[in-house]
Structure 1
């Protein structure tokens, strides 16, 4: 048996494959103790823990620890002269005209930052040796007496020469047995000092939290008889054994959204759709990502709460627009949606759990897109009148009917999602019209057609059971790890010295996987971060194993020019020099089997007529349970397709067909 459990902001989802049988469960999340929600899902599914061979997990524990500042009390060790690096940060160009802008607050206080005498140049050569005597005299006693939960070490240019960091770690661990010490060279061997320091401190901050969470989870699983492999999803779209993740917590910050992208792309590939824009609308937020040729785009850096994280992550853009997002009015009298959410407790007003503020789920219930009797396949009762009561004050303020107010909120959240999709497509040099839209999550298929119309997208692929795709993605994902290293070199050296760097990182990853107990061949990817000499930021240029073996200076130059043109619409000019900045290698172990999701069986619910509020008027449309769709038989809008985990809306002018892979393929015209 293979099981995926994903903890979301509103619901905790489970997908299990037991032979040919698929088990799907959704239970309310428990934000204060996410592991309780995960175990509730396992219990609700009625699984025999002793029969689970592979259990994959994704949660928001690390994310919440940062957002709520509930990580370890942290000490930070830096090179002399760099004590204020986390406070100085960088000039934020996106907020240049915001008169009320405040820099994000680091996770470690200045008073807990300690300087050591040492200095290493960017090429790794030592200018000033590590003054161990001064460290033992002036810094170590403060670390011992400070009652710190973890210690982060980030020395200048340690990515090029980590020996001083290693020595500090040895001294601290000898003086404080059991303390968690995080060194920058273990987290990010990439240049840019502030970003590396931020990444190191964030990793150290959440490490004890993840360590306790996974340790407790493993104990509870063992108590229930589980003896299989327990793995955790990473932000890069791959998973690692829990034992390895307890030493690499920073890579788990965005595991849920990453799992959703992987699961959705795996499913769309079965219908031949390899170029897609994924669109995951859950209860709290919406995450979008672009995939070319079945491969989701990877970014070198992301951020959380304004703080940069320098580690490979899927290039996902998130907006605060989910089913539980609260609709409100700002100080200027403008209607807003999110980022604040009703979450799982109390949830939208219609959930009858004490929520009184209007949300997008309430709005969809008011306009008739969500049918109360069909919500979550009829397993959960919701109240339309409570939703109308929540929207009534807004409707009165704007002089609209309650239905008109709800429709306005839906149009606003759709506009926010369109902008997010443009960020991962248009602003990355891609035309969204060249892609199929791939919606999932509880709300994605309901909003997809309107969003596609605004983008000019004419094809939508809705996977079966779209509300649990993130849980499916957990067990459909490979075991993956990346190694990155900054090694600045001009292009003329890249064809020889660069290949040597790639091979060194490749060997490092192979050794890592052997230590984790994986035998057999690995799949490798190779990426060079390149730029024109004088540029401040790099462009990613990818190679496969065959391409790396045949690499030349001219092929490097051609690949870079093509990648640069796609983003900036200009290539190589006269006398322009090109350099490689960083090298990245990815290694993965494919999962043994990737079983497909399938459409739930027809539950016998008959087709019916239904009223829907659209464009300021009530219209009549058909309601059809998704399980009643016949493979290869087209249906036309307006039509509502209801399922156990999500509802799909097909407007006028759109048709849909269930294909052999059980995906619903919607087409415009």
Structure 2
């Protein structure tokens, strides 16, 4: 499973000025209809997409491969309303929106990680979705990460992942017991009930019963606490751990998250978990053929990367023309039908054999 946190930041997120006169972005959104003002579908609020277009990160004539031209003037008019509220120029307002939404994403990711005892510094950033590649390098800078991976098919990565991921259903039942006093018969009956339910759900989805696997876990805490941590004890079909092993797993995970354990306090189980799953289908994608190491850009356009900065003439590359081994020095734009990789100044990129664009920040 993937631990997720939802952050109200996307291409449709609306910019506004709060009661203190501060520029804010989201969580309100223009949605798909009417969408950003630059879509030309009746939207009047300034969105992140309007700001990205104003900074020339997006090509108005190549949005969705040219099937949906963007209205630059409509986006600029929407940005102008926000700009007048903060007495700024439209270009600086667009750059401010870009920075605020990037800060929102970085702060949300950082807090989510801190709550789970994880230090994100140096962890690579994976950029996907339509707007993700436009913002990823700046978010990585804010997270003190020097590596960003832009996978092939980034705009539909979630859908592709769903197709090639293991089939899984998670079940949980509340049964509060002190770990040292658990009745094994009661526990096993509960797990068997959940396992049977999981098998039924998977077989109804077309999974042969012989392929169903089980994993057991618990949500546990020290007695007297109001919060639990989840630990996955091991694989079924039978309970795979002794009391001592389970206590050790809990203590280790608790110390990882909170920096200490409390060995003299009894451990209490609140929730029992069963994950019923089946192996993922084998999907072999053909490797990307090798290409020239120094590809030629298809165009150049003036891009503004920072608030108050001059525009920078920036080469534009067609992602579909790049072969494995191609190297690009930032600043640069790598555009495809559904998204654009914004390679900021100080970043370099190389195309991997699986089609991913891997960006690395130069040492300062």
Same fold by TM (over 0.5)? yes
The 5 A counterparts of 1:76-115 are none
Structure 1 match to 2:272: 583
Provide the secondary structure at the position in 1 that maps to 2:6.
Answer: strand
Q: Is the 8 A contact 1:317 1:423 kept in 2?
A: no
Out of 262, 267, 270, the position equivalent to 1:572 is 262
Distance 1:516 1:449, change over 3 A: closer
> Are 1:632 and 2:325 matched, yes or no?
yes
Equivalents in 2 of 1:639, 1:620: separation in Å?
9
For structure 2, the 5+ residue unaligned runs are none
TM-fit CA distance, 1:454? 0.7
Equivalents in 1 of 2:194, 2:212: separation in Å?
13
Equivalents in 2 of 1:455, 1:501: separation in Å?
43
> Are 1:526 and 2:216 matched, yes or no?
yes
> Are 1:426 and 2:117 matched, yes or no?
no
Distance 1:348 1:553, change over 3 A: same
User: TM-score, normalised on structure 1?
Assistant: 0.50
What does the per-residue CA deviation read over 1:92-118, in whole Å, with 9 as the maximum and x for residues that have no partner? Answer: xxxxxxxxxxxxxxxxxxxxxxxxxxx
> Are 1:642 and 2:331 matched, yes or no?
no
The total of aligned residue pairs comes to: 355
The 5 A counterparts of 1:120-159 are none
> Are 1:376 and 2:64 matched, yes or no?
yes
What does the per-residue CA deviation read over 1:470-525, in whole Å, with 9 as the maximum and x for residues that have no partner? Answer: 33233223332222112222222459454554344323422444455532221222
Structure 1 match to 2:85: 397
Distance 1:482 1:597, change over 3 A: farther
TM-fit CA distance, 1:613? 0.7
Q: Is the 8 A contact 1:634 1:658 kept in 2?
A: yes
What does the per-residue CA deviation read over 1:179-230, in whole Å, with 9 as the maximum and x for residues that have no partner? Answer: xxxxxxxxxxxxxxxxxxxxxxxxxxxxxxxxxxxxxxxxxxxxxxxxxxxx
Q: Stretches of 4+ moved more than 6 A in 1?
A: 597-600
| RMSD of aligned residue pairs (Cα, Å) | 2.6
Q: Is the 8 A contact 2:124 2:145 kept in 1?
A: yes
Q: Is the 8 A contact 1:464 1:598 kept in 2?
A: no
Provide the secondary structure at the position in 2 that maps to 1:432.
Answer: coil
Equivalents in 2 of 1:344, 1:372: separation in Å?
18
Provide the secondary structure at the position in 1 that maps to 2:127.
Answer: strand
Distance 1:532 1:547, change over 3 A: farther
Higher relative contact order (CA 8 A, sep 6+): 2
Equivalents in 1 of 2:56, 2:132: separation in Å?
16
Q: Is the 8 A contact 1:495 1:553 kept in 2?
A: no
TM-fit CA distance, 1:379? 1.9
The 5 A counterparts of 1:449-488 are 449-488=137-176
Structure 2 match to 1:623: 316
Q: Is the 8 A contact 1:599 1:627 kept in 2?
A: no
TM-fit CA distance, 1:570? 1.2
Distance 1:547 1:650, change over 3 A: farther
TM-fit CA distance, 1:549? 5.4
Structure 2 match to 1:109: none
Equivalents in 2 of 1:628, 1:535: separation in Å?
57
Distance 1:487 1:296, change over 3 A: same
User: TM-score, normalised on structure 2?
Assistant: 0.89
> Are 1:296 and 2:2 matched, yes or no?
yes
Provide the secondary structure at the position in 2 that maps to 1:296.
Answer: coil
Q: Is the 8 A contact 2:14 2:28 kept in 1?
A: yes
Q: Is the 8 A contact 1:365 1:372 kept in 2?
A: yes
Provide the secondary structure at the position in 2 that maps to 1:322.
Answer: coil
Structure 2 match to 1:18: none
What does the per-residue CA deviation read over 1:56-100, in whole Å, with 9 as the maximum and x for residues that have no partner? Answer: xxxxxxxxxxxxxxxxxxxxxxxxxxxxxxxxxxxxxxxxxxxxx
Distance 1:512 1:387, change over 3 A: closer
Structure 1 match to 2:14: 326
Out of 652, 656, 660, the position equivalent to 2:345 is 652
